[in-house]
A and B are shown apart, each in its own frame.
Chain A
């Protein structure tokens, strides 16, 4: 019998997990469920739905710190921060639409559990870098907390980091605390048109190695650029390399000028202001610019300078019956890859392509069948896999929380 439990507070979460432990009943942990299709499919009858744990528990704009119950919608948090001209600087992306649902559903707990960041990750860090503390219930049915409500803190192990990217396999999070930052006065984006992948990534690398402090560095091949809803981006009908600059107005203007001078002999340049700039980066973050067909979608994290080589190798190895499209963020360090009509999402050749240079590939979207058959997350060395399994054992010895979501072994 399948049953969903929707607790209203942390005590009830603890009660349910303790009961599940006693009954040895596996639990699927979910917030709003917007990322349920990410990860290995699970055979679980009982669901622990955390979307009832809502509300801000602490927000002091002057301290730049915000805490909220894990089920609080991200949209609620962003609205509240917006009232004070603040934001979550790691720019949580919204995978709602690429995962077949609708945008705007994410909860703050889910953002942390999947360690989801956006283009600004390259400058300010990921969700894991901005998380200051967590409370949760382990798979032992015990409530615990880690971290605190201040930015500088090294008291005890940093278990918040461990929760980031653990996809609900270690604990059911009940409350999370984040550092927040002021919104910049001005944002602009410099575009350079018509560069090949390797030229584009070299331009992004040059900007990244400059003292101009870019907060977004993305390269869109022509196909991806053509889907952008900003006219300036689509008009030339060519590839676009985009560099975002944020800060006080005079500084943004001066830095954009420097960038355009730096790249004027590489290609035509353009500058996006205000709304156009934010639309472009929202579409990059949410991966809205790749194949409408909805093929298998990979997220690759690689050393930036190797990105062009990696996509070349993948392109060369793919059978001619498959279509592949790419999009680059994080100065090349993040590669989104959409593949159509490949057997088992072409996982072997994708992972072979980055074996030499290091990095990892995660299959963000694929059919349940494919996600059951192949490793969704990058397989690791046996030693590291065993260590991960022991870490899981320490939090969830009976393997009850999101069992099998990250790995068949733990």
Chain B
């Protein structure tokens, strides 16, 4: 890579550490982005507790739970892939990435079914504050799922090309960290939206 030569820092450990600092800084930004949304949620939930309780019963908990499981599994598979490539196992990485991408797509499909269910019942963004929040939060999260999948797909292509080895798999490590973050956000969203006491 010309830029790494130019920087005079070809040492793969150095590159990995630098990239990790980059992605963690990026996650700080992402955290604040969702932080703003969580603040909106908190404000309105305190303001309208009954509305939130009554409306949240209309969400499909089964699908929500299924999606939670799907994402946890996908996090696991990324982790397995990264553990594999650290030992130089390219094949494991390839399989893990394919599995993760399938799980990510499954998440989106399930989410799509949920949306359709709500649309059929006439529950749209703007129907009330709760549904507005539900749509905004899950849609922005879904966008992040798509972004994460794009990064992983890019990693998959490069894996096929044989770019990665035990010495160098920086894009995979970085995309993996990002994917975990996207999953983590859902782990918060699920109880906040679906499981109110």
Mutual binders A and B: no
